[in-house]
Structure 1
Amino acid sequence: MVTGWFAGEGDDFRLLGTRCSACTSVFFPREDAFCRNPGCPGGELVEMPLSPRGRVWSYTDSRYRPPSPYVTDPELSWEPYTLIAVELESERIVVLGQAAPGITVADLTVGMEVVVVPGVLNEDTETTWTTWHWRPTGVAA
């Protein structure tokens, strides 16, 4: 798990971002040092849960084994996965992430509503690395 990027479980699962108190810009991944808005005089950065829903902005599939630092076992066969860029409902920022297992590009359309859900990036006998996935609304987990 990437500390500070998401929190909660089940229906309470949320990505965590930050909002600048001066210009109200929202950032994900979170920003803890300074406001990234070049026109902002600077303000306090406050952690905030992001919208759990958004609309598909774009999508594609990944058919190659990504390079390090992505965790992948070279002894196992490679499974392609779907990437989705989602415009969040309230914040109107675009966040990239993997689709939930079983969701392919054939299941998606631009503008489709999706929800963020917890996911597994990798696991071994000692550790499960968690992440987030996007799942179309109305599709069972």
Structure 2
Amino acid sequence: MNAPIIEGLFSVDAAEPALLGSRCSACGTYYFPKQSNYCRNPDCDSERFDEVPLSRSGTLWSFTNACYQPPAPYVAEEPFEPYAIAAVKLEREQMIVLGQVVKGVGVDDLAAGMTMRLVLEDVPGVDGERVTWKWQPVEGA
């Protein structure tokens, strides 16, 4: 099994990967990345959170392309190729999570309102030993 590029952000179950977030045990507000100090909901003063897997799919709310190579520790194949970034509104949590779109899917392939799902993809340059999470359009949805 491949290891996550960053521990604790997502599960590495290839069949059902999930972002790992937290939910306030008092008011039910969801967070990604995990929140552990205090609830940011102004109507709640709780400091207790449960770790929860977040929805694996959602609706594409917005998207753009990244035409520049980010600095380290970002790992990119050479030569650098632009990639799409998606803002996906998670089904259950109704919160928006930004993330990179899978390789081979650009902004011309995306449309607001389409269904997206979370998948794992190998990180380039580390010999398939590390994976990261990305968004992928759901065919026929």
> Which residue is equivalent to 2:37?
33
Describe the SS at the equivalent of 2:35. coil
> How far apart are the structure 1 equivalents of 2:72 and 2:125?
16
TM-score, with normalisation over the residues of structure 1? 0.87
Q: Please say if residues 35 and 49 of structure 2, whose CA atoms lie closer than 8 Å, have aligned partners that are also in contact.
A: yes
1:87 aligns with 2:63: no
Q: Secondary structure at the match of 2:15?
A: helix
Contact 1:14 1:116 in 2 (8 A): yes
Percent sequence identity over aligned pairs: 40
Partner Cα distance (1:17, 1:72) in 2: 26
> RMSD of the alignment, in Å?
1.8
Question: Does the 8 A contact of 1:19 with 1:45 survive in 2?
Answer: yes
Equivalent in the alignment of 1:4: 8
Counterpart in the other structure of 1:124: 126
User: What secondary structure does 2:123 align onto?
Assistant: strand
Alignment partners' CA distance in 2, 1:47 and 1:25: 12
Equivalent in the alignment of 2:74: 70
**TM-score, with length taken from structure 2:** 0.87
Which blocks of at least 5 consecutive residues in structure 1 are unaligned? none
